């Protein structure tokens, strides 16, 4: 039986919190008015903000060492959709879900579409998977997939991606995201150019099957599962591949796929300039691809990324239409709470970036006034936009304090009774 967050509970909780919110909202409105910023214009843009939920993020994640399942784990895509609907009930900013095949594969995709429709959820980018061998798989991906030296293995991987497009069309998705772990662990093991050529030839066969209104998003990653070289290891190989494939191919930036201290906001600026920014997998990390909650460690970097995105929006940059999505692994928190928190964190970076005084910034940049240019960004970053985020949620029927309302709903305890513990504390990210 589908569990949702009771609208009456949200209303009752909001009623308690609204007087304080109105006070804070009015105070912020006066502060922004002194900067000639109309808070209502900003709140409307906050209401339009959407970020997709990774289906695989609704379950407890793990590492190669272990996974410690939580209570009421979703056991299939239908239960992952239920949890995603709860996140959207409270946040009103996550109406799209991104599936991963074959993890979310079903026999009847029309039935799955009907179920998502019944939950007012839409389908975001389709993620293919040629980084694991499936039960009945003929050719192994041990030595790669789209760049494998075995033509049979490449053809198998191409077929899987084309099948993902077919399933995505039934669900109403418009994007295929391709991340491959292809690479090598030993110097000399792989011929870098030949491997890239095999990858490109395989991707050309997938690209040829793309519907005219679809995009193909290429995701780069520095390392893991390969630990010496990775075929698409950085934005350089990524944009070269996207340019080689054609206008529907774009680059996807997963924040955790870069070496520590890489200037990701500058990579974003380059991809925007060459109309190759397809979208993002937001998360945060301290060491490797840690897939931690977005903005939990580097909120200023996340803000600086949105400063580039809002600047492009402000300049009406041609071909600018990036897709936003979370890609996280929740090993020690309730995944629903982490996804609610992270969606709000990314939305906060966007709203703060809307407050940047761009004409002033341009002046300081042209006059090499580095300090005032930096302060212009910091002023926006340090503005507490919490009242705008809460008001945007409340006006759309969401919760002023989504975590508090979620806990009041006892949703997790309820589904824990309905979903027997799937046990299996093996290892692996999902
Ligand atoms: C690879 C990645 C990719 C997904 C996987 C779940 O690290 O970021 O986006 O396919 O995580
Ligand atoms: Mn990713």
| Residue 97 pLDDT greater than 70, yes or no | yes
Our mutation pick for probing the ligand 1 site, out of 128, 254, 329, 429, counting the most ligand atoms within 8 A of Cβ, is 254
Q: Which two tokens stand for residue 33?
A: 């008015």
Share of the chain above pLDDT 90, in %: 96
Q: Which two tokens stand for residue 342?
A: 């992270």
| Residue 426 pLDDT greater than 90, yes or no | no
Mind listing the pLDDT tens digit for each residue in 186-241?
999 999 999 999 999 999 999 999 999 999 999 999 999 999 999 999 999 999 99
Given this model, what pLDDT does residue 3 score? 73
What 8-state DSSP symbol labels residue 136?
T
Our mutation pick for probing the ligand 1 site, out of 182, 281, 284, 326, counting the most ligand atoms within 8 A of Cβ, is 281
Mind listing the pLDDT tens digit for each residue in 321-330?
999 999 999 9
What 8-state DSSP symbol labels residue 162?
H
Given this model, what pLDDT does residue 217 score? 98
pTM of the full structure: 0.98
| Ligand with an atom nearest the CA of residue 326 | 2
| Ligand with an atom nearest the CA of residue 56 | 1
| Residue 348 pLDDT greater than 90, yes or no | yes
Q: What is the mean pLDDT of the chain?
A: 97
| 267 contact partners, CB below 8 Å, separation of at least 6 | 235, 253, 258
Cα–Cα nearest to 339, from 354, 351, 329: 329
Distance (angstroms) between ligand 1 centre and the Cα of 55 equals: 12
| Residue 181 pLDDT greater than 70, yes or no | yes
Pocket of ligand 1 (CB under 6 A): 56, 127, 179, 219, 221, 254, 281, 289, 327
Mind listing the pLDDT tens digit for each residue in 35-80?
999 999 999 999 999 999 999 999 999 998 999 999 999 999 999 9
**Does residue 326 contact residue 283 with C-beta atoms inside 8 Å?**
yes
Given this model, what pLDDT does residue 403 score? 98
pLDDT tier at 420, thresholds 50, 70, 90: confident
Mind listing the pLDDT tens digit for each residue in 302-311?
999 999 999 9
Mind listing the pLDDT tens digit for each residue in 143-163?
999 999 999 999 999 999 999
For residue 215, the cross-strand partners are: 175
Distance (angstroms) between ligand 2 centre and the Cα of 274 equals: 22
| 425 contact partners, CB below 8 Å, separation of at least 6 | 62, 66, 67, 68, 69
Helix (H) or strand (E) holding 416: helix 411-418
Q: Which two tokens stand for residue 404?
A: 């508090």
What 8-state DSSP symbol labels residue 257?
G
**Does residue 357 contact residue 87 with C-beta atoms inside 8 Å?**
no
Given this model, what pLDDT does residue 425 score? 57
SS3 54: strand
Of all protein residues, whose CA lies closest to atom 1 belonging to ligand 1?
179
Given this model, what pLDDT does residue 422 score? 60
What 8-state DSSP symbol labels residue 255?
G
Q: Which two tokens stand for residue 6?
A: 């009771």
Helix (H) or strand (E) holding 280: strand 277-282
**Does residue 191 contact residue 231 with C-beta atoms inside 8 Å?**
no
| 216 contact partners, CB below 8 Å, separation of at least 6 | 175, 176, 178, 203, 206, 207, 210, 245, 248, 249, 250
SS3 309: helix
Distance (angstroms) between ligand 1 centre and the Cα of 129 equals: 9
Would you put residue 424 in left (φ > 0), alpha (ψ -120 to 50) or beta? left
In 104-164 the beta strands, taken as DSSP E runs, fall at 122-123, 126-127
For residue 100, the cross-strand partners are: 127
**Helix and strand tally (H, E) in the chain?**
15, 11
87-91, 201-205, 350-354, 420-424: which has the minimum mean pLDDT?
420-424
Given this model, what pLDDT does residue 1 score? 57
């Amino acid at each position: 039986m589908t569990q949702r967050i009771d609208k009456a509970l949200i209303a009752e909780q909001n009623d308690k919190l609204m007087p304080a919110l109105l006070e804070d909202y009015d105070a912020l409105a006066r502060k922004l008015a002194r900067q000639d910023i109309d808070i209502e214009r900003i709140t409307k843009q906050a209401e339009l903000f959407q970020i997709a939920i990774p289906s695989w993020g609704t379950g407890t994640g793990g590492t190669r060492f272990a996974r410690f399942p939580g209570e009421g784990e979703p056991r299939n895509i239908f239960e992952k959709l239920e949890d995603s609907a709860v996140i959207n009930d409270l946040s009103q900013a996550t109406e799209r879900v991104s599936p991963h095949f074959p993890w979310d594969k079903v026999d009847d995709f029309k039935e799955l579409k009907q179920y998502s429709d019944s939950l007012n959820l839409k389908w975001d980018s389709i993620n293919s998977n040629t980084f694991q061998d499936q039960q009945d798989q003929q050719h192994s991906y041990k030595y790669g997939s789209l760049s494998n030296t075995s033509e049979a293995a490449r053809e198998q991987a191409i077929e899987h991606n084309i099948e993902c497009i077919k399933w995505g069309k039934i669900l109403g998705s418009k994007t295929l995201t391709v991340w491959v772990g292809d690479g090598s662990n030993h110097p000399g093991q792989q011929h870098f150019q030949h491997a890239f050529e095999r990858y490109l030839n395989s991707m050309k066969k997938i690209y040829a099957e793309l519907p005219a209104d679809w995009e193909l998003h290429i995701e780069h990653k520095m390392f893991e599962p390969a630990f010496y070289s990775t075929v698409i290891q950085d934005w350089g190989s990524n944009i070269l591949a996207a340019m080689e494939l054609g206008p529907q191919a774009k680059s996807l930036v997963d924040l955790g796929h870069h070496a520590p201290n890489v200037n990701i906001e500058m990579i974003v600026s380059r991809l925007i300039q060459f109309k190759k920014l397809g979208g993002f997998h937001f998360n945060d990390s301290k060491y490797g691809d840690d897939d931690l909650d977005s903005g939990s460690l580097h909120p200023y970097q996340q803000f600086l990324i949105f400063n580039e995105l809002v600047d492009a929006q402000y300049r009406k940059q041609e071909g600018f239409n990036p897709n936003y999505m979370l890609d996280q692994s929740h090993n020690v928190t309730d995944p629903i709470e982490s996804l609610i928190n992270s969606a709000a964190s990314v939305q906060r970076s966007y709203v703060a970036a809307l407050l940047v005084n761009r004409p002033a910034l341009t002046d300081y940049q042209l006059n090499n006034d580095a300090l005032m240019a930096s302060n212009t960004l910091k002023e926006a970053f340090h503005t507490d936009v919490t009242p705008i985020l809460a008001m945007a949620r409340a006006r759309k029927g969401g919760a002023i304090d989504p975590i508090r309302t979620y806990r009041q709903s006892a949703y997790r305890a309820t589904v824990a009774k309905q979903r027997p513990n799937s046990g299996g504390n093996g290892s692996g990210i999902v």
